[in-house]
């Protein structure tokens, strides 16, 4: 079996890079531009919603690539997760943060669709918004928080990814595996 995992590492890393970078650019650049150019709140919402809607399919592909690559890396490094001290803990942390980032991304999309619907000038959307009214100010505040939570959480994933890279260094693997074996073999008397 090859020791190189270039394809799955690339999917994992490029997917995470796009997820992090796209969400950060959207929160700063897209929302900022909509604020500067929108005029009214409804116009700002329409501009921002349009940009986020165009990004959503690319973001979905990026997230899918990251998850596929991450699953592949977990499979090829299962022996390290089991045998090297600290790797299981960092893998667990990375999994928890990934789930939180996925939840924040999904929540932001749901809120974004609500704001998009409420600010639309399309007659079908106006009718739908009237059937399902929302507190638009509250939705905007929640959306802003969710849109900032995504780059914060994916930024944490970048840091945990760096930790995993450090744990793969040969001078980290041998002592980590030795310490795990020593602590597993320790029996109290």
Q: What angle do CA 31, 33, 39 make, to 5 degrees?
A: 100
The single-letter DSSP state of residue 189 is -
| Tens place of pLDDT per residue across the chain (189 aa) | 457 899 999 999 999 999 999 999 999 999 999 999 988 998 999 999 999 999 999 999 999 999 999 999 999 999 888 888 888 999 999 999 999 999 999 999 999 999 988 887 777 766 776 777 788 899 999 999 999 999 999 999 999 999 988 888 766 656 655 666 667 666 554
Domain range annotation of the chain: 6-176
Q: How many residues does the chain have?
A: 189
User: What span, in angstroms and rounded, lies between the C-alpha atoms of 49 and 43?
Assistant: 10
The single-letter DSSP state of residue 3 is S
> Which residue, among 117, 115, 106, 105, has the nearest Cα to 140 in the 3D structure?
115
User: What span, in angstroms and rounded, lies between the C-alpha atoms of 142 and 163?
Assistant: 31
* pTM of the predicted protein model: 0.84
């Amino acid at each position: 079996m090859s020791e190189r995992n270039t394809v799955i590492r690339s999917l994992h890393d490029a997917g995470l890079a796009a997820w992090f970078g796209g969400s950060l650019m959207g929160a700063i650049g897209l929302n900022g531009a909509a604020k500067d150019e929108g005029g009214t709140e409804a116009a700002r919402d329409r501009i921002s919603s349009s940009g986020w809607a165009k990004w959503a399919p690319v973001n979905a592909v990026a997230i899918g690539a990251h998850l596929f690559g991450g699953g592949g890396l977990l499979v090829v490094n299962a022996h390290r997760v089991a045998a090297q001290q600290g790797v299981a803990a960092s893998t667990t942390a990375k999994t928890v943060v990934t789930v939180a980032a996925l939840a924040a991304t999904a929540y932001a999309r749901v809120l974004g669709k609500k704001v998009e619907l409420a600010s639309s000038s399309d007659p079908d959307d106006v009718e739908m918004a009237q059937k399902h009214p929302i507190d638009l100010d509250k939705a905007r505040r929640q959306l802003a928080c969710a849109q900032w939570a995504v780059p914060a959480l994916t930024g944490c994933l970048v840091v945990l990814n760096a930790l995993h890279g450090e744990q793969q260094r040969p001078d980290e693997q041998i002592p980590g595996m030795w310490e795990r074996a020593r602590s597993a073999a320790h029996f109290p008397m």
